[in-house]
């Protein structure tokens, strides 16, 4: 099964559900995102999720610019579009030549069509018969499967789903062009926190138990599920970025579909956390019988928590994120007056350091084990760097650090900080 075949443009799209209806009136512009006006109507809409849509538009734009055939039409599919703001932004900002906006609820059709009607349905010149957008109302996995069977493949597929149902992942990968981007979403916080192990096992193939860094486990669970599905289809995926949003909470990952299977399974394995000493480690499948902690001679076996298999490789692609940051700055999305997105991207770039293992360490855990007051976050990071360790802030865990330092070294440094002057935190990313 090869998803690399290109489709002719215009797509042999199914006609809209009601082609004879009159054009919907333009919405009343009750909301705006990055200069794009729209009306959410009765659809679920959350302004807090705008950062996730910003990231999607930036990534889609870079993918469009970096294609092997820049003259080919750039095609996007929003499989669960809600009011259509994502689809609208792909048209308005990412330079999509065609967007398919789908939502299972037909009751949202007037809202979706009215918002997308800001762009003419037919591409210019009108005699070409090309369409700029289509709205439909199907179950997402069925729609994706139909596009695959028709050999109609997309450059970007966005699935903004609720809960942890991942039944659509395989169909989405099949409907995606090689080199295309798949934006996955999960709101299954119970599985990420280890309270729904059966659910995580059935949805993502990972048995998850409680850990001190559940938000990162949630992202790795989603990536791991996509990696497993891609491998079964003869492909592999590469995470471009992984984004955790506290509201919800929401786990979003943008992965690129790559041709062929990867050699080995070095990025797919298990995470082990020791509740006694606080240290975490990763293990591959060939090390399953060796999972242990160096402190187990003085602790019981129940102190060891193992989760997986899931993604244990990098959460982000540093080069891609750097280009996203550059583009965001060019568009004025990362200026001094709009620091939120820029700060997020800079933190994610630092998190991309290949020396950093999975997981993060909260300052309150370090201070509790060191029996001292919590050290300033920036001071602790700078001190660990001076000791030769990789260390940075985490966008996933508040008041936490990512580091390849053993927790014992973090404890020693925290105790030493009490007797040293405070120095400002220095970011490696400009």
Please give the distance of CA 408 from its chain centroid, rounded to a whole number. 32
pLDDT value of position 299: 55
3-state secondary structure of 288: helix
Could you give the CA distance from residue 67 to residue 69 in angstroms, rounded to a whole number? 5
Residue 311 CA to residue 205 CA, distance in Å, equals: 11
378 with 387: CB under 8 angstroms? no
Q: State residue 426's pLDDT score.
A: 54
Vertex 350, ends 183 and 188: CA angle to 5°?
Answer: 35
CATH number of the structural domain 342-419 = 3.30.56.70
Mean pLDDT of the chain: 87
Mean pLDDT on 409-428: 72
CB atoms within 10 A of CB 368: 13
Residue 406 has pLDDT above 60, yes or no: yes
pLDDT band at 6 (very low <50, low <70, confident <90, very high): very low
Assess whether pLDDT exceeds 80 at residue 263.
Answer: no
Whole-number pLDDT of residue 26: 52
| pLDDT of 337 | 61
- Structure confidence at residue 301 (pLDDT): 65
Q: Specify the length of the chain in residues.
A: 430
The number of beta carbons lying within 10 Å of the beta carbon of residue 382 is 19
**Using 50, 70 and 90 to split pLDDT, how confident is the model at 92?**
very high
The reply to whether 342-419 shares the fold of 35-40+47-122+130-311 is no
**What integer is the mean pLDDT of 358-387?**
94
| pLDDT-derived band at 419, boundaries 50, 70, 90 | low
Question: Which pLDDT score is estimated for 124?
Answer: 59
Assess whether pLDDT exceeds 70 at residue 170: yes
Q: Where are the domains of the chain?
A: 35-40+47-122+130-311, 342-419
pLDDT above 70: percentage of residues in the chain: 85
pLDDT in tens, 39-91: 998 888 888 899 999 999 999 999 999 998 988 999 999 999 999 999 999 99
For the cut 90, the answer to whether the pLDDT of residue 125 exceeds it is no
Query: Counting Cβ atoms within 10 Å, is residue 112 exposed (0-12), middle (13-18) or buried (19+)?
Result: buried
> If pLDDT is split at 50, 70 and 90, which confidence band does 194 have?
confident
Please check whether residue 111 is in contact with residue 27, taking contact to mean a CB–CB distance below 8 angstroms.
yes
Measure the CA–CA gap between 87 and 135, rounded to whole angstroms: 10
pLDDT value at position 203? 85
Structure confidence at residue 162 (pLDDT):
78
Q: At 17, is the pLDDT very low, low, confident or very high (cuts 50, 70, 90)? A: very low
Spatial separation of the C-alpha atoms in residues 168 and 142, rounded to whole Å: 8
Range 141-152 average pLDDT:
95
pLDDT band, very low/low/confident/very high, at 262 (cuts 50, 70, 90): confident
C-alpha distances in Å from residue 362, one per residue of 106, 164, 202, 421: 45, 26, 30, 22
Q: Domain 35-40+47-122+130-311's class?
A: alpha beta
- Spatial neighbors of 40 by CB under 8 A, at least 6 apart, are 30, 31, 82, 83, 85, 111
Q: HSE-up of 187 (CA within 13 Å, CB side)?
A: 9
Instruction: Give the single-character DSSP code of 22.
Output: P
The predicted-structure confidence for 267-310, as pLDDT tens digits, reads as follows 999 999 999 899 999 999 989 888 888 775 555 667 899 999 99
Q: What's the start-to-end Cα distance of the chain, in Å?
A: 43
């Amino acid at each position: 099964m090869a998803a690399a075949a290109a489709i002719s443009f215009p797509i042999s799209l199914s006609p809209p559900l009601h082609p004879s209806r009159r054009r919907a009136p333009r919405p009343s512009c009750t909301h705006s995102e990055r200069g794009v006006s729209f009306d959410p109507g009765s659809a679920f809409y959350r302004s807090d999720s705008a950062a996730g849509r910003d990231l999607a538009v930036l990534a889609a734009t870079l993918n469009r610019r970096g294609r092997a055939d820049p003259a080919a039409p750039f095609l996007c599919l929003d499989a669960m579009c809600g009011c259509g703001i994502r689809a609208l932004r792909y048209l308005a900002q990412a330079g999509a030549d065609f967007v398919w906006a789908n939502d299972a609820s037909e009751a949202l059709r007037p809202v979706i069509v009215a918002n997308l009607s800001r762009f003419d349905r037919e591409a210019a010149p009108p005699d070409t018969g090309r369409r700029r957008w289509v709205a439909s109302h199907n179950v997402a996995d069925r729609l994706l499967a139909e596009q695959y069977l028709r050999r109609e493949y997309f450059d970007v597929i966005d699935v903004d789903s609720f809960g942890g149902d991942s039944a659509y992942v395989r169909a989405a990968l099949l409907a995606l062009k090689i080199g295309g981007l798949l934006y996955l979403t999960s709101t299954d916080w119970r599985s990420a926190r280890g309270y729904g192990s059966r659910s995580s096992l059935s949805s993502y193939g990972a048995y998850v138990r409680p850990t001190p860094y559940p938000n990162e486990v949630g992202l790795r669970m989603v990536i791991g599920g996509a990696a497993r599905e891609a491998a079964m289809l003869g492909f592999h995926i590469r995470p471009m970025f992984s984004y955790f949003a506290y509201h919800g909470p929401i786990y979003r990952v943008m992965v690129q579909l790559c041709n062929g299977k990867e050699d080995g399974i070095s990025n797919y394995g298990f995470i082990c956390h020791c509740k006694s000493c606080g240290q975490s480690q990763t293990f591959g499948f060939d090390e399953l019988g060796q999972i242990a902690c160096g402190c187990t001679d003085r602790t019981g076996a129940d102190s060891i928590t193992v989760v997986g298999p899931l993604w244990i490789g990098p959460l982000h692609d540093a080069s891609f994120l750097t280009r996203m940051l550059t583009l965001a700055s060019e568009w004025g999305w990362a200026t001094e007056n709009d620091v939120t997105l820029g700060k997020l991207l800079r933190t994610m770039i630092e998190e991309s350091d290949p020396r950093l293992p999975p997981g993060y360490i909260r300052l309150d855990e370090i201070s509790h084990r060191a029996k001292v007051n919590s050290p300033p976050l920036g001071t602790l990071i700078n001190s660990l760097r001076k000791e030769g360790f990789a260390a940075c802030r985490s966008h996933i865990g508040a008041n936490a650090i990512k580091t390849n330092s053993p927790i014992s070294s973090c404890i020693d440094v925290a105790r030493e900080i009490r007797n040293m002057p405070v120095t400002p935190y220095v970011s490696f990313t400009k």
